[in-house]
Copies of this chain bind each other. A is one copy, B any other.
Amino acid sequence: MQTLILAVNKPALAYAKAGVAFYEERLRPLGKVEIRYVKEGSANDVADAMLRASEGYVRIAMDERGMNWSTRELEAQWRSWQMDAVKRVAFLIGPADGHTEELRAACEMTLSLGRHTMQHELALLVLLEQVYRIHTLLAGAPYHRD
């Protein structure tokens, strides 16, 4: 399953840049996870760019008001996408002020990384680590603990 992560602007904070590179490196052998950045702009411009970039994907809006799943629940969702032969899933991390209503409406679901507000570069890092963790679970590797 092709996985796309969309975020606004490349990380500017050095630690976030290093963290994203770290998980990208680990995910690279799997060849299926791609991060793309859209340019900062008005909420509508960002939404339009994200919707264009995720055309043909099952879209997941990342938002602290969404469902906060455990890693095992996200893994179960992942397996169910695979069983349903879903080919492309995109995770959309909103700009600082959150996603527009139009973008939310175009998404299949809204997932949360917790109810707390996070710097969006840090949110990207947390999401990437989840995606990496799910892949180790799917591969039966011992990285995860419950």
A residues sitting closer than 8 Å to B (CB atoms) are 13-16, 18-19, 21-22, 64, 68-71, 73-74, 96-97, 112-119, 122, 125-126, 129-130, 133, 144-146
Q: How far is the CB of A117 from chain B (nearest CB, A)?
A: 5
| A122–B116 CA distance with the chains assembled, in angstroms | 15
Closest chain B residue to A22, Cβ basis: B15
Partner of A14, one of B18, B115, B119: B18
Cβ A122 vs Cβ B129 within 8 A: yes
Q: A96-B145, A122-B129, A129-B122 are in contact. Are A115 and B70 (CB under 8 A)?
A: yes
Q: Which residue of B lies closest to A145 (CB)?
A: B96
- State how many angstroms separate the Cβ of A87 from the closest Cβ of chain B: 25
Q: Closest B residue to A112 by CB, please name it.
A: B114
CB–CB B126/A118 < 8 A: yes
Q: Pick the residue among B15, B115, B119 that contacts A18 (CB under 8 A).
A: B15
Q: Are A71 and B129 in contact (CB under 8 A)?
A: no
The residue that A68 contacts in the complex, of B18, B116, B126, B146, with Cβ under 8 A, is: B116
